[in-house]
């Protein structure tokens, strides 16, 4: 048996399809606040324990985002690089059929690692129900992550936190690790609000220019050359970006990039976690004890899941960005206010999220006497 606690998980469903060889798992962690919501990932080393941890993270993330969703997650154990598009479609459709009893009654899926708007369309088509996924193409009434909701939320969280501290984004220097969907939109909005992005990285390295990297120019380079390192500026290693002398650091790609080896070399005064789990809590504590403002992942990158909620409500992109603005602003402020005394923003945010979940459980009569 897997470990459970007073929060969950409520359901663990492992599935297998003989015809395609599809092996997957869906975990619904807690639905006190609403249907379980979390993405589907496709990775070759997927484990049920990993999906359970991710589902719990979604319970806290959705509660902290203050949207009426519970926490869930699912995954398919497969290597998309080792299959044709047709094979991938067949496996995704097989997974959809196997979790038919869960969606959308208990779980609403969304895109995650190696799963895009196309796969969300396959699932909705296979089950003949547009409600079973979010992140669908706009042609199917969806609000795909390509609209930039996550990156916008990251930028807004930074802006709100900086202003809460009585400062302004104007002229603040920024380094962005990871120049994909999230990193590019974070760049776009931070630049519009007066910040100066001086470094960006991808898997091939880092480009650094103390005079600033203009969004339109760097984005064009990335699109055409497939790497930011082809852009004009000083070329550095991928890990060098974490040690640059900047005001704001945005780890936005891989987990555990801030470690015991480099944490003391971080010079930024704000660390906004656009990626999931870029640092363990003990590493964040080292930063926070030095006075660094850490904006935890499940607060900073919640724009995507807020967008998913808006999609389920049938709202358009304009309304979605308004809701993301309202939610990110309010939740960042309440976290910053609660963290005033000890600067422990993660503890503050976790406390808020847990309170919201437990309040819903109390109303439903789920709490044991």
- HSE, side-chain direction, 13 A CA sphere, residue 276: 12
d(C-alpha 36, C-alpha 9), whole Å: 11
How many other CB atoms are there within 10 angstroms of residue 245's CB atom? 10
Counted residue by residue, the chain has a size of 369
Look-up of token digits 């959705």? 62
The C-alpha angle with vertex 163 and arms to 267 and 247, in degrees rounded to 5, equals 15
- Identify the CA nearest to 92 among candidates 112, 117, 115: 115
Active-site residue identified among 73, 77, 88, 188: 73
Q: Under the phi-then-psi rule, with left for phi > 0, alpha for psi from -120 to 50, and beta for the rest, what region is 140?
A: alpha
SS3 label, residue 37: strand
Token pair, residue 277, equals 């789990």
d(C-alpha 283, C-alpha 258), whole Å: 7
Q: Are 284 and 261 in contact (CB under 8 A)?
A: no
Q: Which residues contact 236 (CB under 8 A, 6 or more apart)?
A: 199, 201, 205, 206, 207, 208
- Identify the CA nearest to 14 among candidates 6, 105, 22, 57: 22
Is residue 73 annotated as a catalytic residue, yes or no?
yes
Strand partners, 15: 24
Rg of the chain on CA atoms, in Å? 20
Catalytic residues: 73
């Amino acid at each position: 048996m897997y470990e459970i606690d007073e929060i969950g998980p409520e359901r663990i469903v492992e599935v297998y399809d003989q015809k395609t060889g599809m092996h997957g798992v869906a975990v619904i962690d807690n639905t006190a606040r609403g249907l379980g919501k979390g993405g589907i990932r496709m990775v070759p080393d997927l484990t049920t324990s990993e999906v359970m941890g991710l589902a719990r993270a979604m319970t806290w993330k959705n509660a902290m985002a203050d949207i009426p969703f519970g926490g869930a997650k699912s995954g398919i154990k497969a290597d998309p690089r080792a299959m044709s598009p047709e094979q991938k479609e067949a496996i995704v459709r097989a997974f959809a059929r196997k979790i038919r009893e869960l969606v959308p009654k208990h779980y609403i899926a969304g895109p995650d690692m190696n799963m895009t708007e196309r796969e969300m369309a396959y699932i909705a088509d296979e089950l003949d129900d547009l409600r079973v996924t979010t992140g669908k193409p706009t042609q199917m009434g969806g609000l795909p992550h390509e609209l930039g909701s996550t990156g916008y939320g990251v930028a807004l969280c930074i802006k709100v936190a900086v202003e809460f501290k009585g400062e302004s984004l104007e002229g603040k220097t920024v380094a962005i690790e990871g120049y994909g969907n999230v990193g590019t939109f974070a760049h776009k909005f931070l630049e519009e609000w007066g910040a100066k992005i001086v470094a960006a990285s991808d898997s091939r390295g880092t480009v650094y220019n103390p005079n600033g990297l203009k969004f339109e120019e760097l984005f064009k380079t990335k699109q055409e050359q497939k790497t930011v390192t082809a852009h004009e500026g000083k070329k550095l290693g991928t890990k060098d970006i974490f040690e640059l002398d900047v005001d704001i650091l945005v780890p936005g790609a891989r987990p555990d990039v801030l470690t015991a080896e480099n944490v003391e070399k971080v010079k930024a005064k704000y660390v906004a976690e656009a990626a999931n789990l870029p640092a363990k809590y003990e590493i964040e504590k080292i930063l926070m004890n030095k006075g660094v403002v850490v904006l935890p992942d499940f607060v900073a990158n919640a724009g995507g899941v807020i967008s998913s909620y808006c999609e389920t409500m049938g709202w358009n992109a304009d309304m979605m960005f308004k809701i993301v603005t309202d939610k990110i602003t309010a939740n960042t402020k309440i976290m910053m206010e609660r963290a005033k005394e000890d600067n422990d923003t993660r503890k503050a945010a976790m406390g808020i999220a847990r309170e919201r979940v437990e309040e819903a459980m109390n109303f439903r009569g789920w709490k044991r006497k």
